């Protein structure tokens, strides 16, 4: 049974790293594209940047959820739980901003 626990730890650790790197990569690419959009004065820059940030945060949130599988102490669970709550709140805030920006874009197009 110990080997099964080790396999689970390795698999979970690898998945956490993959999700972390993917989330950071998505956020970096969205940021660079946001800078380029600002330079070009593209009116859709905020919406695209917010969508990129939201996607990156979803990957980071997935890694934190996986992290709950391998924690061993209650204090670690509390820390991971707090991180999950903060990232979920950020994601909700960004999704709200995306909806607001999309409504504003539709209003601008129809006017």
Please state, in angstroms and rounded to a whole number, the distance separating the CA atoms of residues 18 and 5.
20
Q: What tens digit of pLDDT does each residue of 91-109 get? A: 888 888 888 888 887 777 7
Q: What average pLDDT does this structure show over 62-84?
A: 82
Q: What average pLDDT does this structure show over 21-37?
A: 96
% residues pLDDT > 90 (the chain)? 29
| pLDDT value at residue 14 | 92
pLDDT band at 46 (very low <50, low <70, confident <90, very high): confident
From residue 32, how far is each of 45, 103, 109 by CA, in Å? 11, 25, 26
Q: Is the pLDDT of residue 111 over 70?
A: no
Q: Is the pLDDT of residue 20 over 90?
A: yes
């Amino acid at each position: 049974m110990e080997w099964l626990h080790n396999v689970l730890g390795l698999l979970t650790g690898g998945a956490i790293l993959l999700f972390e790197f993917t989330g950071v990569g998505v956020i970096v690419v969205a940021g660079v594209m946001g800078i380029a959009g600002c330079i070009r004065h593209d009116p859709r820059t905020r919406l695209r940047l917010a969508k990129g940030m939201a996607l990156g945060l979803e990957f980071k949130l997935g890694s934190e959820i996986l992290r709950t599988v391998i924690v061993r102490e209650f204090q670690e669970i509390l820390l991971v739980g707090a991180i999950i709550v903060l990232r979920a709140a950020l994601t909700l805030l960004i999704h709200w901003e995306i909806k607001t920006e999309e409504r504003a874009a539709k209003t601008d197009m129809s006017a």
